[in-house]
Structure 1
Amino acid sequence: MKAINLLEKFQLFSEHWTPKKIGELNGQQVLLAKLKGEFIWHTHEHEDELFLIIKGKLKIAFKDTTIELNEGEMYIIPKGIAHKPIAEEEVHVLLFEPLEIKHTGNITSNLTVKTFETI
């Protein structure tokens, strides 16, 4: 066991929309991701999704509204809610999700990552 330095982990990768696993606990995984641009509309039918903003500002569009999250803020998207993350500038996020989740939810696209790399 050792401390995990998030800032050091973020320096290990540069690609966007490709979460990296930094830990697991109780059937959940802790992921880091760099986001830039618009993601795809998607839904997680069986899993809630937690976004914690480490750096930058993230917009999350829902069918009837859009929220903006700033550094140090988090948001939990309940299962079954369609959403689309939007990062006008690069954003660093920590995600907390079940091990079996697909980050593109009910959609398969060129952004879908089948297995998250552990860093």
Structure 2
Amino acid sequence: MEAPLDIAEKMAQLTEHWRPRVAAEFSGQELRIVKAEGTFPWHFHEDYDEVFIGWKGVVKVEFRDRIVSVHPGQVFVVPRGVEHRTVADTGEVEVLFIAAAGARNTGNVDDHVYTAPVGVQA
């Protein structure tokens, strides 16, 4: 990176829900940004942990036995192999997350609506 990343500026450019964009790459990881509304499908990531960082609004990370709310400024880690889904049921939210470079956003699931193209830059 030649200059600091302006997250708000990058988020303002997003027009689709559940279509993450790569904002930065480092050590085999990607910092991705996404706008979301509604409910994402159940899935898991076999080979990596997924780190959610709340930016705007509250995103829920649902597990089969509990729900975790991630507020702006909070960080939450979903361990690899743990089934989960994300929910934005109070309107549009903005979230940053860290995932393995080149990994599919829907993990083990191939969904014609929610599986986003890999590696699209913000």
Shorter-chain-normalised TM-score: which range?
Answer: over 0.9
What's 1:108 paired with?
A: 110
TM-score normalized with structure 2 length: 0.94
Q: After TM superposition, what 4+ stretches of structure 1 lie above 3 angstroms from structure 2?
A: none
Tell me what 2:36 maps to: 35
CA contact (8 A) 1:53 1:92 kept: yes
Partner of 1:22: 23
Cα deviation for residue 100 of structure 1 reads: 2.9
1:52·1:93 contact (CA, 8 Å) conserved in 2? yes
Which amino acid counterpart does residue 70 of structure 1 have in structure 2? H
More divergent stretch after superposition (93-102 vs 32-41): 93-102
Percent of residue pairs identical: 31
What is the TM-score with the length of structure 1 in the denominator? 0.96
Structure 2 residue corresponding to 1:97, chosen from 73, 84, 99:
99
Instruction: Letter of the 2:21 partner, please give it.
Output: K
Partner of 2:53: 52
Q: How many residues align?
A: 119
SS of residue matched to 2:13: coil
The aligned residue for residue 84 of structure 2 is 83
CA deviation string 1:11-61 (max 9, x = no partner) = 111100000111101111111000100000001011100000000001111
Letter in 1 for 2:92: E
Q: Secondary structure at the match of 2:42?
A: coil
Cα deviation for residue 117 of structure 1 reads 1.6
Q: Is 1:7 paired with 2:8?
A: yes
